[in-house]
Amino acid sequence: MELPTYAFQHQRYWLDNTTANTGDRPAADQDTAFWEAVQHTDLDGFAAELDIAPDAPLGTVLPALADWRQRLRTTAAVDAWRYRTAFKRLPDAPGAPILTGSWLAVVPVRHLDDPSVTTSLDAVAKAGAEVVHLTIEDADADVDRLTERLRGLVAGLGTAPAGIMSFLGLDEERHRDHPALPSGLATSLALVRALGRAGIGAPLWMVTREAVAAGQDTHPHAPLGSLIWGLGQVTALEHADRWGGLIDLPGVCDARVARMLCAGLSGRGAEDQLALRPSGTFVRRLAHVPGEQRAARRSWQPRGTVIVTGGTGALGAVLARWLATEGAEHLVLTGRRGADAPGAEQLRDELAATGARVTLAACDVADRKAVAALLDGLAADGETVRAVLHAAGVADLTSLENTGPEEFAAGVAAKVDGALHLTELLDHGDLDAFVLFSSIAGVWGSGDHGAYAAANAFLNALAEYNRARGIPTTSIAWGVWNAFGVEGAGGISEAVDLDQLHRRGLPLIEPELGLTALRRALDRDETVLTVAPVAWERFFPLFSAARPRPLFEDLPQVRALSAPGPATAGPASEPGQRGSGLGDLPLADRDSTLLALVRGEAASVLGYERPDQLDPDRALRDVGFDSLTAMELRNRLATATGLTLPAALVFDHPTPLAIAAYLKAELYGPDPGDDSSVLTELDALSQRLAAIDPDTNTRLEITLRLRSLLTQWSEPDGGRTTADTATATSATALESASADEVLAFIDTELGI
């Protein structure tokens, strides 16, 4: 085809160069051992660093030197990705905690007489709150049933509760209708959904017991409670406006612990992940843990028979290839479809070419009988299982509001029940490694990952629980592996959006680097570890946009983001005083300036070259805005204007024109003579009326005045009757009404 005759317009999107992430250590410190060996002419040390024979010729040394350098850079990169969670003690809260209003205590029927519950609620009452009980049964996992119960309860109270304490996490019995879920988890999911449907915006606090390790604990004693922690962290992201926090109780809840509970409920800063122990209150924090801080305990090598659950999926295939090259003699790759899974037979042939024996086993690890049959069959054949890599899992990503108990059970069964069945049925004495593949969703939550986050939080707790019983278990909470494009990828690989991950500051884990991190964790025989590349300058501002996230505040990268710079030092600006003199704009320039501001910031978020590429009348969602980019635009505009802007700014005001109009109203108030200002005032009045709870007489007078205003507005003169006349008319009507008319008015108009 002939090329068009007009000149092409080139616009380059590729980076000119990239800089590798080599971790936090300076390059000069990474090869100290090597250069010391050279300086001291230590031939043996030099050869050991390069992993060659001391008498190797130069032709061998040079490639070895290149390999050594690459290994050093690779390990430095993955060491920068290593994190671990821990609990640190807070100082004791001064004074006696004070709670006010009605607090709703949601208690499972099996735990009505639980000392932890009764002691806690007695303390809440002594702190000044009125405790209202809501007893929950298995049937309340039906969100419609629970919604109606909540509506009836609030109607009976006559006011919304000031806070909600859910003790559902204490109930670890299997749900009668959804046996893959503990009853407390199934009903907690229903509670989150029902509170939203019932319009109850009080902060929700989820209470567990011994679900986390804090204080003198070396491990959690009730790892199933960690499912609630995973669910709670997703609730905090999806419903930040009505989230309170997570509180873990000790095994024995005495009066002192109960007082600490009340202090947590009354607010200790923004802390929303607390563990109460006899020694005090502890809060959860994420910390960076470079690999060199923990010496290798062994040089782990796969041997004998190795099981990979989810072995025919994308990540399973990556692991199987690595295990085969590292020396595994027999690979057992499990999956629900076995050899019928896409690409399974080709993978088997590829692995067999390396000399490894391969078994494609059709085994659903959520089925205990199937796992037992697999292990019994291997034992009957004289096979000894030396290692298990549990990578099976289902990722059906959706919001909590749209997730029922059936979908939630399907999302947790493979990871949770699979890990439990393997723990119970494996011969632990023969195991060199039992590796659970977890996710960062279980460490700090992720929107639309409710079931996935709960299941992975459990894997981390189970690893600690198993270690305490002598079972060599390692759980690694990974970021997202780059398994895209692999046949049969499935799972999380097909569920995530690559562009969204990049904008969120979560780069993918390349398989080579992920396997290096796995090897280093196994050499160190670690128990729980988080491995994820995070661009904190992008990730943290978005993650913490809706509410503070104290979990991250001890990280140096996050502290650096929060530190005041030269441009932000000093007192905060008043609204309209930031940016280019917005507070002093002439009336005639406000519309154009604010529209230019919105289009400029939106273009920057989307990566457009010019602001005029955005149509001011076109919805931003139609040109690529999603929840993350919408939050970024909100943050940019808040910085530029000095305003506190709602999280749903882009969705409530979908076009650049609409956003500019909103900013104008917030910065300068309504224009004189603008009829829309009346509507704004009516909206404000509606919100004020909804927020008050007047006595009967006041409510009657307000109602009469509102009816009078409506009558005036309906008159031909446009409602120009004076307010004094209207008030007099209302008063006369009330004074002249008969008792029956007043009672009828109260009955029909006030619903009393």
pLDDT confidence of residue 716? 58
Q: Residue range 548-553: average pLDDT?
A: 95
The structural domains of the chain, ordered by start, are 34-75 (no CATH), 89-288 (3.40.50.11460), 295-534 (3.40.50.720), 536-568 (no CATH), 589-668 (1.10.1200.10), 694-749 (no CATH)
Sequence-ordered list of residues with C-beta below 8 angstroms from that of 615, at least 6 positions apart, any chain: 623, 656
Query: How far apart are the C-alpha atoms of 80 and 734, rounded to whole Å?
Result: 75
Token couple for 69: 């350098």
pLDDT confidence of residue 282? 98
Q: Residue range 70-79: average pLDDT?
A: 86
Sequence-ordered list of residues with C-beta below 8 angstroms from that of 668, at least 6 positions apart, any chain: 576, 590
pLDDT confidence of residue 573? 38
* Lowest-pLDDT choice from 240-249, 473-482, 532-541, 620-629: 620-629
pLDDT confidence of residue 260? 97
Query: How far apart are the C-alpha atoms of 685 and 683, rounded to whole Å?
Result: 5
Judged against a pLDDT cut of 80, whether residue 84 lies above it is answered with yes
* Lowest-pLDDT choice from 389-393, 539-543, 740-744: 740-744
Reported as a single tens digit per residue, the pLDDT across 23-51 is: 444 444 556 777 676 666 777 877 777 77
Q: Which of 552, 689, 494 is nearest to 273 (CA)?
A: 552
* Lowest-pLDDT choice from 7-21, 37-51, 133-147, 381-395: 7-21
Q: Which of 408, 397, 396, 364 is nearest to 227 (CA)?
A: 408
Query: How far apart are the C-alpha atoms of 14 and 324, rounded to whole Å?
Result: 37
Sequence-ordered list of residues with C-beta below 8 angstroms from that of 162, at least 6 positions apart, any chain: 99, 100, 101, 102, 103, 129, 202
Residue 311's alpha-carbon distances to 49, 67, 338, 363, 393, in angstroms, are 34, 30, 9, 11, 11
Query: How far apart are the C-alpha atoms of 68 and 82, rounded to whole Å?
Result: 22
Query: How far apart are the C-alpha atoms of 401 and 539, rounded to whole Å?
Result: 24
Query: How far apart are the C-alpha atoms of 281 and 264, rounded to whole Å?
Result: 9
Residue 545's alpha-carbon distances to 335, 401, 522, 605, 632, in angstroms, are 40, 21, 36, 16, 9
Q: Which of 66, 688, 178 is nearest to 403 (CA)?
A: 178
Token couple for 38: 């050279």
Q: Which of 439, 331, 345 is nearest to 388 (CA)?
A: 331
* Lowest-pLDDT choice from 259-263, 345-349, 603-607: 603-607
pLDDT: which is higher, 451 or 66:
451
pTM for the whole structure? 0.76
Query: How far apart are the C-alpha atoms of 482 and 318, rounded to whole Å?
Result: 10
> What interhelical angle do 723-736 and 696-714 show, nearest 10?
120
pLDDT confidence of residue 571? 35
| Percentage of the residues of the chain whose pLDDT score is greater than 90 | 58
Cα 398 to chain center, whole Å? 13
| Percentage of the residues of the chain whose pLDDT score is greater than 70 | 82
Query: How far apart are the C-alpha atoms of 117 and 111, rounded to whole Å?
Result: 7
As a whole number, the mean pLDDT across the chain is 85
Residue 334's alpha-carbon distances to 350, 356, 524, in angstroms, are 17, 16, 27
Query: How far apart are the C-alpha atoms of 275 and 281, rounded to whole Å?
Result: 6
Which residues sit opposite 84 in a β-bridge?
A: 287
Judged against a pLDDT cut of 50, whether residue 578 lies above it is answered with no
pLDDT confidence of residue 23? 42
Judged against a pLDDT cut of 70, whether residue 158 lies above it is answered with yes
pLDDT confidence of residue 7? 61
3-state secondary structure 650-663: HHHCCCHHHHHHHH
Residue 752's alpha-carbon distances to 148, 157, 278, 699, 748, in angstroms, are 21, 14, 50, 11, 8
The end-to-end CA distance of the chain, in Å, is 80
pLDDT confidence of residue 626? 74
The sign one gets for the Cα dihedral 504, 510, 513, 515 is positive
**Band of pLDDT at residue 229, cut at 50, 70 and 90:** very high
* Lowest-pLDDT choice from 378-382, 695-699, 719-723: 719-723
Q: Residue range 626-645: average pLDDT?
A: 83
Q: Alpha helix locations (H) across 97-142?
A: 115-126
Judged against a pLDDT cut of 80, whether residue 682 lies above it is answered with no
Work out the number of other CB atoms within 10 angstroms of the CB of residue 198.
18
Residue 240's alpha-carbon distances to 231, 233, 549, in angstroms, are 13, 10, 11
Query: How far apart are the C-alpha atoms of 274 and 90, rounded to whole Å?
Result: 10
Sequence-ordered list of residues with C-beta below 8 angstroms from that of 171, at least 6 positions apart, any chain: 108, 110, 111, 182, 183, 184, 187
CA-based radius of gyration for the chain: 31
Token couple for 506: 């979560």
3-state helix, strand, coil in the chain (%, to 5): 50, 15, 35
DSSP 337: S
Q: Which of 412, 417, 492 is nearest to 450 (CA)?
A: 412
Query: How far apart are the C-alpha atoms of 682 and 254, rounded to whole Å?
Result: 51
Q: Residue range 209-224: average pLDDT?
A: 96
Q: What's at 721, amino acid-wise?
A: T
Query: How far apart are the C-alpha atoms of 231 and 531, rounded to whole Å?
Result: 21
3-state secondary structure of 213: coil
Q: Do 656 and 602 meet the contact criterion of CB atoms below 8 Å apart?
A: yes
Q: Which of 26, 25, 46, 24 is nearest to 35 (CA)?
A: 46
Work out the number of other CB atoms within 10 angstroms of the CB of residue 6.
6
Q: Do 457 and 442 meet the contact criterion of CB atoms below 8 Å apart?
A: yes
Query: How far apart are the C-alpha atoms of 522 and 526, rounded to whole Å?
Result: 6
The sign one gets for the Cα dihedral 743, 749, 751, 752 is negative
Q: Residue range 729-748: average pLDDT?
A: 57
**Residues comprising the chain, all counted:** 752
